[in-house]
Structure 1
């Protein structure tokens, strides 16, 4: 088999769109809280920003997946990208706290549509035999964007972030017009038949991903505060090392999953992630934080490669959109629940105890995978 078969024109274009789109979106989680603070927002409502966008994204994903399978990819993808551009521009023109929360909710909805569409187009562009490897490269683009964007966002300030995000979204839109989209088959029964918004084949792997991503919600929300508590400077490097670890290992892990099966990615993930969190809970230096980032990056990359492949490869072609929506509902839901849960736990145990407690969730993910495998549910 040709080892570079998935590097088609379509796959390269959709991977670039994924990078620019993710970068534009990730400029705001770190830039918005200080911006709202400058507008007079109290600390008590700043934590709701993640909750608002998570709820909006979770509400729209199942319907986005259903619409992508029924009406096709191109129109909805383009509409989502235009919606992201309008939402991004609105931050600049409506500097009012209450209105920004409405904008954030809208931004979450169009993001849910765009991201689900983008992943579905990528799924259409990769052969099943090399799906894990291909999705590893595709999702690596978003991981790199997530690692770089927050630091740039904090250095630029809100107004420049809006301009940069708009520039990246314009590039995404132009590239999206160059993609050749898979046509959705139109059968007489397709419109009449009731179709579930979620793909049932994808629910179990998505549930495992949900448990794993609870840990990322805690790290994304509280790592900086934990570093400040320990008087450690440069904690932002954690996300850079995390991304580099995935960059180096993910293509190899994807090939391994394609050859050896899903367990080749899931077991390293559910072992390395708890180790990283337990080390983090007792770390008191930047070096220790970065060691955790290496373990965590490899673990997340391995688990996601397997679980996303598992969520999609067994689903019929006309249900790929629903499968992606199901997977990312678990992905986003885990991050949102993790952020909220970590806040409650850290109030009781402190940040160190909270990170140690978070190690329970990937272990539960491993137990769930083992049980489902034993009873042949996966």
Structure 2
């Protein structure tokens, strides 16, 4: 029984998923509130507030580049969780905008390192026959944090002060450090770069993953147009009250669909999920451009969950399958670097488009981009899936 259906929910996997959930939650919680904090506390301009929000992404990217090429151990995880706690304490030092930018940058590095380490370790701890399903479950921790983090942040900013938000983040960091004590790293968790390769680009990213990571960049870029501007758009069309339930619906449909899509991928391959998910995500974005009722807006939330929510987890599975076992850490880091780039640069670039297109026009453009990505995926991976299917299953 165990040979045909090996155990997935081990103590290690649950612990790693918990750390990933809380670190991602902190990321979205702080991102949802830090601009308001900068404006209220330091009278920051909108451009300064944008830098304060974006510098965290840059720090996270550098953290992923740094850690992806190293052997990832429990000692490294605990060290960087401690650094996370120390850099979170910097938020309590209300000096000036420059110091806040530095604090955000350092804090971002620690989050990038920790989430890469736990993601790599979680993937390597999964049984090969259930890897797609396992990654889908692990990715649920990210999806939940994506919806819950901003919700908690906005509620706390409305009902308490910013020091309480920082204290909550600090508490989660301490809890993570305690959880990390219980984690046992898999013996095959190896990402070692030979000395003669250390100056090559392949020492920092996994080239084989770039095509599927580029698809993830496009998807994250498009999704950021919802995360960053949904409330403003909903206010414009008179659906602001309904918008508060959007990510609740999104989270529910992610929870429902991801376990099934992961199992299907393990048996049938990625194409059977990715092609429909791209079409569903694109259709959801186009529908968003023309919603007029609360029900239609919530339907969009469900479509986006079935589309983007599954594209992200299945794409990660593909990325892992394309890498050699000793480069899984680099593959994970590369995938999330492109994911972060989409999330990080999306809001600023989209913000420049909105005056030209309006919100309705913006979502039409993003919907068409997503639909066009069907061809991109087909050319970059889909048409060759038969050749890679053995990798995905093994």
TM-score of the superposition, structure 1-length normalised?
0.93
Q: How far apart are residue 60 of structure 1 and its match?
A: 2.8
CA-CA distance at 1:185 after TM superposition: 8.1
Q: Which moved more, 1:44-53 or 1:121-130?
A: 44-53
Instruction: In structure 1, list runs of 5 or more residues that go unmatched.
Output: none
**Alpha-carbon spacing, 1:49–1:353, altered in 2? closer, same or farther (3 Å):** farther
Following the alignment from structure 1 to structure 2, what is the Cα–Cα distance between the partners of residues 145 and 2? 32
> Per-residue deviation at 1:197?
1.2
Q: 1:243 to 1:78 in 2, by over 3 A?
A: same
Establish whether residue 356 from structure 1 lines up as the match of residue 388 from structure 2. no
Question: Per-residue CA shift, 1:145-175, capped at 9, x if unaligned?
Answer: 2211212112223111111111111111111
Query: What CA distance in whole angstroms lies between the structure 2 residues aligned with 1:332 and 1:108?
Result: 11
What does residue 226 of structure 1 align with? 233
Distance 1:183 1:291, change over 3 A: same
| Alignment partner, residue 31 of structure 1 | 33
The Cα of 1:192 is off from its aligned counterpart by 5.2
1:43 matched to 2:41: no
Contact between 2:143 and 2:309, CA under 8 Å: does it hold in 1? no
Are the counterparts in 1 of residues 287 and 300 from structure 2 also a CA contact under 8 Å? yes
Structure 1 position 366, deviation (Å): 1.4
Matches within 5 A, 1:98-109: 98-109=98-109
Task: Note the C-alpha offset of 1:294.
Answer: 0.2
Q: CA deviation at 1:37?
A: 1.4
1:177-198 CA distance string (max 9 Å, x none): 1111124688999455545211
Which whole-Å deviations, capped at 9, do the CAs of 1:26-79 have from their partners, x for residues lacking one?
Answer: 221111121111121123332333422222222332221002xxx332222222
- Tell me whether 1:216 sits opposite 2:219 in the alignment: no
Is the aligned partner of 1:90 residue 2:64? no
Give the match for residue 280 of structure 1: 288
User: Partner of 1:120 in structure 2?
Assistant: 120
The structure-2 alpha-carbon separation of the partners of 1:337 and 1:367, relative to structure 1 and needing over 3 Å to count, comes to farther
1:21 corresponds in structure 2 to 23
| 2:165 maps to 1:161 | yes
2: CA distance between counterparts of 1:73 and 1:353?
47
SS in 2 for 1:359: helix
Contact 2:124–2:188 (CA<8 Å) still a contact in 1? Answer: no
Contact 1:128/1:313 (CA < 8 Å) preserved in 2?
no
2:14 corresponding residue in structure 1: 12
Moved more, 290-299 or 154-163: 154-163
* TM-score normalised by structure 2 residue count: 0.89
Aligned pair count?
375
CA distance in 2, matches of 1:103, 1:189: 30
1:205 match: 212
Give the whole-Å Cα distance in 1 for the aligned partners of 2:299 and 2:16: 32
Query: How many Å separate the matches in 1 of 2:9 and 2:283?
Result: 35
Distance 1:188 1:60 in 2: 17
Partner-residue secondary structure (3-state), 2:168:
helix
Residue by residue, what CA displacement relative to the aligned partner does 1:65-118 show, whole Å, maximum 9, x if unpaired?
002xxx332222222212221222211223532211111111111111111111
**Which digits, 9 at most, give the CA deviation of each residue in 1:196-236, with x for residues without a partner?**
21112211111111111111111111111111112222312
1:347 aligned residue (342, 346, 355): 355
Residue 341 of structure 1 deviates from its aligned partner by 2.0
Segments of structure 2 that go 5 or more residues without pairing to the other structure are 389-394
Q: Distance in 1 between matches of 2:232 and 2:129?
A: 43
Q: Is the 8 A contact 1:242 1:296 kept in 2?
A: yes
